[in-house]
Amino acid sequence: MKKTFKNLTALFATATLALGLTACNDNTSSKETSQTLSTIEQLKQAGKIRIGVFSDKPPFGYVDAQGKSQGFDVEIGKAITKDLLGDENKAEFVLVDAANRAEYLLSKKVDIILANFTVTAARKEVVDFANPYMKVALGVVSKNGAVITDLEQLKDKTLIVDKGTTADIFFTKNYPNIKLLKFEQNTETFEALRDGRGDALSNDNTFLFAWVKQNPGYTVGVKSFGDQDVIAPAVRKDAADLLNWLNTEIEKLSKEGVLKQAYEKTLLPVYGDSVAESDILVEYK
Residue percentage of the chain with pLDDT more than 70: 88
Asked if residue 28 has pLDDT above 80, the reply is: no
- Report if residue 120 sits inside a domain: yes
- Judge contact between 229 and 136, C-beta under 8 A: yes
- Residue 253 within any structural domain of the chain: yes
CA distance linking residue 249 with residue 145, whole number of Å: 46
Residue 5 has pLDDT above 50, yes or no: no
pLDDT digits (tens, 9 = 90+) for 138-150: 999 999 999 999 9
Asked whether residue 187 falls in the same domain as residue 239, the answer is no
Domain count, the chain: 2
* Structure letter (DSSP) for residue 277: G
Q: Are residues 172 and 250 part of one domain?
A: no
Give the model's pLDDT for residue 232: 98
> In this structure, what CATH number is given to the domain that contains residue 100?
3.40.190.10
Q: How far apart are CA 208 and CA 214, in angstroms?
A: 10
Side-chain half-sphere exposure of 184, counting CA atoms within 13 A: 5
Supply the pLDDT for residue 228. Answer: 87
pTM attached to this predicted model: 0.82
pLDDT in tens, 199-251: 999 999 999 999 999 999 999 999 999 888 999 999 999 999 999 999 999 99
- For 54-82, the pLDDT digits (tens) are 999 999 999 999 999 999 999 999 999 99
Decide which of 204, 228, 252 is a domain's last residue: 228
* Amino acid at position 231, single letter: I
Q: Where is the domain boundary, 228, 253, 268?
A: 228
**pLDDT-derived band of residue 25, with 50, 70 and 90 as boundaries?**
low
**Residue 14: inside a domain:** no
32 pLDDT more than 70: no
- Please tell me whether residues 172 and 207 are part of one structural domain: yes
Is 237 found in the same domain as 122? Answer: yes
219 and 238: one domain? no
Structural domain span for residue 188: 137-228
pLDDT of residue 274: 85
201 in any annotated domain: yes
Indicate whether 108 and 152 sit together in one domain: no
Q: Is residue 84 in some structural domain?
A: yes
How far apart are alpha carbons 63 and 241 in whole angstroms? 31
pLDDT category at 35 given cuts 50, 70, 90 is low
- Least confident range of 40-44, 57-61, 186-190, 271-275: 271-275
Q: 128 with 239, same domain? A: yes
End position of a domain, from candidates 228, 244, 267: 228
Residues 246 and 126 in one domain: yes
| Strand 56-57, strand 234-235: pairing | unpaired
Higher pLDDT, 27 or 254: 254
Do 107 and 143 share a domain, yes or no?
no
Q: Which helix (H) or strand (E) holds 140?
A: strand 134-143
